[in-house]
Structure 1
């Protein structure tokens, strides 16, 4: 095998001057079985030395249009060769193989199976891919959460028999999450790079509204903790607690906090619709600080509540104590969900690729499904709500059954006098 001829017959991988490259369409991909037989050209000799001699019919060494060298092989053999490192500027995983069959007539199959040659995505393409997946998770989670929250809101509104202060606090917490999820959709559907750069008044108001409802979520969780701590640890009667106190905590206190934040943004960081933060400007801590504070206080509340429940209330079986225990269990689950999600914003995932991917997906999941968890633990698993719904359902069934029996009785064809008597008799029997 002449060395000069073999080098001339093998195109250089990744080179724009290769003779085979000019004849292929740019859309060609290795993720398929490619027809790589060059018309009018016989088998080529390999640029790689062959250290064995085959007996019988065989396919000569050849280089295909991709640039892969196929060594001399016996007929009927399926030959494996590493995937090319580059193809049209795209890098491929060379640990996988392409496959080509040596036919019975001593020629190579026209098609080469490169389906196992996987692209190695660049860092930019990987980031875009993970970003799009995170966006899908966020939209899915917020849709599921908003649907569950609306169902829970309607249940608390319709079931007047369970209108105690504890459930009113649950109701307001769910309302705060509904408003936050709704403003999240407004932000996602209206904010774009052009709007961010224009920094118009309405987009700043939308950002302020979103942050306000974000703060109310934490303050209503603080209200949940205050109620349980007062009822269990301080052993005060819950009759002394008033609804207006919790309304002030949940809805009123966050308002001046957001107003102060908006003033700080207006004077020190008035750009990009008040999203993000400029280096050296810490106006966002005006509302983030109180959120962290009430979160830490809630952890202290829960520590005391659990301590009391584990000691003094273990032997008690009253219905009120059972409700407190269930409320504490729900809060123990929900508070870490709320807290961990927010604390993740202060965590640096590092430069490791896996750490960043886990951080993106974990944060997106918890952030978007919070409302769903709140609905499940405070409404759908609430024994009072379930009992009231069950009673409503049984009452509706009984009412519907009575109407059906009366309608059947009235539909019997007979004289007017007998109809009246029959109807009265059936109604009396019911």
Structure 2
């Protein structure tokens, strides 16, 4: 088989190989030893030097071609008359790249795609249910849950776009070859939703850090800032990326699926957001450990509690991605393992977050159980009408540690008293899975 140039995945390596061929092979004279040779040639994909007639040349498959395995060989046959082999059906000079695309490599690629499909699909289902739960339970209507809903919605959008992208673009070589406008637009929209999801991860860390560190903070101001960061700011790098890539002749190929330096326009802000979230987490843990040690005797136990509490933030803030900073080059050892691991964490992150902060959250489970009990009570004719229940939602991050006391006033400000004051230990702001700041909600059974 021949390889069309549209299937090149690394144009930088491709251009280097073409330049090397022109300088070191094509410019050399044919051997003058009285024997017959096929001429040196560039077959649009690899460089072939002069080959003795009646023999077959071999070299490693190109690593800059999609799904090509550089550990096996391509081959090109020279006829006894000194001409290159021609394909019997097309009559064109032909290089055999059949072995480059081995079955195992194709199967590995398909397994990675399957993880993405199943992971995103499963995450989308859980995230949509979580958003419905957060929206329907009025006891959970607070700023923290609002942030969760926007983060979850960004995960849903990103998951849907990646499923469409993988199924319609990256797996269809004909679509990549045609490089039509719609697939480029899908590429940009997919990356926009991805950047938005990282922006909302940053908003989660920013809000939590501001709530703990800043003495007075207005919830309405914070949430407006988060709206801008989460949905509007990602438009800027995406517009810059789109403009530059559309005008770059080398990068404007294959529906923009190839990695280029322009990808750093999108990866840069994402990397910065992860680094800032890591800094937020470290500072939060430092504050917790400091306060814990000031009020508790068992430092080791309390340090473990603080670390355990902070670990809850890892999937919420996307800190697990810091463990996978660099992708191995195609054909390198560990590339497949890296692809499988990142596919799992990327696609299932929405499921992890929805499970931890919704389905396994004690507050949510308690509210659902109480609503179910209320429903059964209403159907019970013996249940007295007009009875009142009082429900108190726990503070997001409220545990028994005298760090700060968070309270809302009518102006929307969060005032926090110094920890030296004799505050009840149940009114302390630290890290946990709880959702809303303490508020009493009365319900009347009809």
Q: By the TM > 0.5 criterion, same fold? A: yes
1:390 matched to 2:372? The reply is: no
Which has the higher Rg, Structure 1 or Structure 2?
Answer: 1
Match of 2:197 in 1: 217
Residue from 171, 175, 178 that aligns with 1:195: 175
How far the C-alpha of 1:122 sits from its partner, in A, is: 9.7
How far the C-alpha of 1:310 sits from its partner, in A, is: 1.2
How far the C-alpha of 1:383 sits from its partner, in A, is: 3.1
Match of 2:185 in 1: 205
C-alpha change, 1:194 and 1:164, in structure 2 (3 Å) is: same
Is there any run of 5+ residues in structure 2 with no aligned partner, and where? 1-98, 297-305, 386-445
Is there any run of 5+ residues in structure 1 with no aligned partner, and where? 1-120, 318-323, 407-429
C-alpha change, 1:253 and 1:327, in structure 2 (3 Å) is: farther
Question: CA–CA distance in 2 between the matches of 1:327 and 1:400?
Answer: 41
Q: How many residues align?
A: 275
CA contact (8 A) 2:198 2:318 kept: no
Question: CA–CA distance in 2 between the matches of 1:325 and 1:158?
Answer: 33
1:273 matched to 2:251? The reply is: no
How far the C-alpha of 1:326 sits from its partner, in A, is: 8.9
CA contact (8 A) 1:218 1:291 kept: yes
CA contact (8 A) 2:327 2:335 kept: no
CA contact (8 A) 1:330 1:378 kept: no
Residues 16-415 of structure 1 mapped to structure 2, 5 A cutoff: 124-191=102-169, 192-237=172-217, 239=219, 241-268=221-248, 269-278=251-260, 282-312=261-291, 328-335=310-317, 338-340=320-322, 343-344=324-325, 346-348=326-328, 353=333, 355-402=334-381
The structure with the largest helix share of the pair is 1
CA contact (8 A) 2:205 2:317 kept: no
C-alpha change, 1:198 and 1:178, in structure 2 (3 Å) is: same
CA contact (8 A) 1:338 1:370 kept: no
Question: CA–CA distance in 1 between the matches of 2:309 and 2:198?
Answer: 17
Q: Alignment partner of 1:284: what SS?
A: helix
How far the C-alpha of 1:198 sits from its partner, in A, is: 1.7
How far the C-alpha of 1:328 sits from its partner, in A, is: 4.2
Question: CA–CA distance in 1 between the matches of 2:330 and 2:185?
Answer: 34
User: CA RMSD, aligned part only?
Assistant: 3.1
C-alpha change, 1:402 and 1:241, in structure 2 (3 Å) is: farther
Please list every run of at least 4 consecutive aligned residues from structure 1 whose deviation after the TM superposition is greater than 3 angstroms: 235-242, 313-317, 324-329, 333-338, 349-353, 402-406
Q: Alignment partner of 2:216: what SS?
A: coil
| CA distances 1:212-270 after superposition (whole Å, capped 9, x unpaired) | 11001111111011111111123434546442221111111111221111111111122
Residues 410-425 of structure 1 mapped to structure 2, 5 A cutoff: none
How far the C-alpha of 1:368 sits from its partner, in A, is: 1.5
CA contact (8 A) 2:116 2:347 kept: yes
Q: TM-score, normalised by structure 1?
A: 0.58
C-alpha change, 1:172 and 1:314, in structure 2 (3 Å) is: farther
Question: CA–CA distance in 1 between the matches of 2:361 and 2:191?
Answer: 29
CA contact (8 A) 2:278 2:319 kept: no
Match of 2:29 in 1: none
